Amino acid sequence: MNPVGTEHVRVLRPAEGVLAFYDGRVEGYRYSPEPNWVDEGAISLGIASYALIEGDEALVYDTHVSVTHGELIRRAVEAEGAKRITVLLSHWHLDHVAGNEAFADCEILASARTAEQMRSHREAIEAGEYEGPPGIAPLLLPTRTYEERMELRLGGRTLELIQVDIHSDDATVIWDPERRLLFAGDTVEDPITYVDEPDHFLQHLRDLERLLALDPERILPAHGEAEAIAEGGYGPGLLQATADYVQILQRCREEPALREAPLADLLAPSLEAGWVRWFDPYEAVHRENVKTVLAA
């Protein structure tokens, strides 16, 4: 039985040598009865961290929403035979770095921009004053950084780390060229992206084109449907659906009618194409996105 706080974590196997640690999208379940960032931005929408395992080496992609979650990930990875663990952070947002303490003796790798953001917000994050409680104390920072692009060897496999400006300007995705598999973090989300930096929309779109140019066969996002992840992930249409949605948000600034349109209507082409799957709570996310765009 999983420890308290991780009762609903499901360990999925979307590809050979890949574990997905999925929590959330459970009706009636909350991490805490009080308002908190764990429920509002992660558990309510469903969130997955990943581990890529090759022989006795493992790459943990994000440490999840709590130290307890991180400890669960570590135990599972070690049970698979991993003795050398490297952590890679997809970006600096709290639901991706909260479990870092469980890997205090491991290398923690991130983009230089991720490290910069974590350092600058560290005091507020540890005090529970950034995005509210719970605080993450101590917040373990990256021990190694890269810029733009980096090759990483994992056992006999060569992975590419690519920094992109989508959702957050410090995002790192993992590209496995041999399997044409993209680990996407928060750069794409099913059914819509969560907007934090609307002033970067043009760069978001350029970098979505860069990822489409990789021609991935499958995509594994941090936020999506558990069943889709368990089945091996999403097709490349998820990237196009994200680009289409960003363009809709851009148009909201000049087209008032779009601001009130139901999300299901706006997503109709992507839903019909099977690129994304409907999930009711994203209607509220969309309303917040529109407010964020108009405020910017």
- Is residue 254 included in any domain, yes or no? yes
Distances (CA, A) of 267 to 185, 225, 258, 288: 21, 16, 12, 16
Domain count, the chain: 1
Average pLDDT of every residue of the chain: 96
Q: What is the pTM of this model?
A: 0.97
Residue pair 165/203 in contact (Cβ under 8 Å)? The answer is yes
Host H or E run for residue 77: helix 67-79
- Predicted local distance difference test score (pLDDT) of residue 5: 83
Rounded to whole angstroms, the Cα distance separating 111 from 151 reads 13
How close are the terminal C-alpha atoms of the chain, in Å? 46
Encode pLDDT of 141-173 as tens digits. 999 999 999 999 999 899 999 999 999 999 999
Report the distance separating Cα 114 and Cα 96, nearest Å.
Answer: 11
Residue 2 domain flag:
no
Residue 4 has pLDDT above 80, yes or no: no
> Residue range 63-75: average pLDDT?
98
Instruction: Show the tokens assigned to 93.
Output: 């947002």
Q: What integer is the mean pLDDT of 26-47?
A: 92
Bridge partner residues of 50 (DSSP): 20, 61
The domain that contains 269 carries what CATH number? 3.60.15.10
Residue 107 lies in a domain: yes
* pLDDT tens by residue, 210-258: 999 999 999 999 999 999 999 999 999 999 999 999 999 999 999 999 9
Percentage of the chain exceeding pLDDT 90: 94
Domain assignment present for 5 = no
Tens-place pLDDT, residues 82-141: 999 999 999 999 999 999 999 999 999 999 999 999 999 999 999 999 999 999 999 999
- Tell whether 183 is covered by a domain: yes
Query: Would 3 be classed as within a structural domain?
Result: no
Confidence of residue 3 (pLDDT cuts 50, 70, 90): confident
Cα–Cα distances in angstroms (integers) from residue 103 to residues 24, 32, 154, 217, 230, in the given order: 23, 24, 18, 31, 25
The candidate with the shortest Cα–Cα distance to 44, out of 288, 265, 258, is 288
Q: Residue 1: what pLDDT?
A: 60
- Residue 1 inside a domain? The answer is no
**What is the domain range of residue 239?**
10-295
Is 289 a residue whose pLDDT tops 90? yes
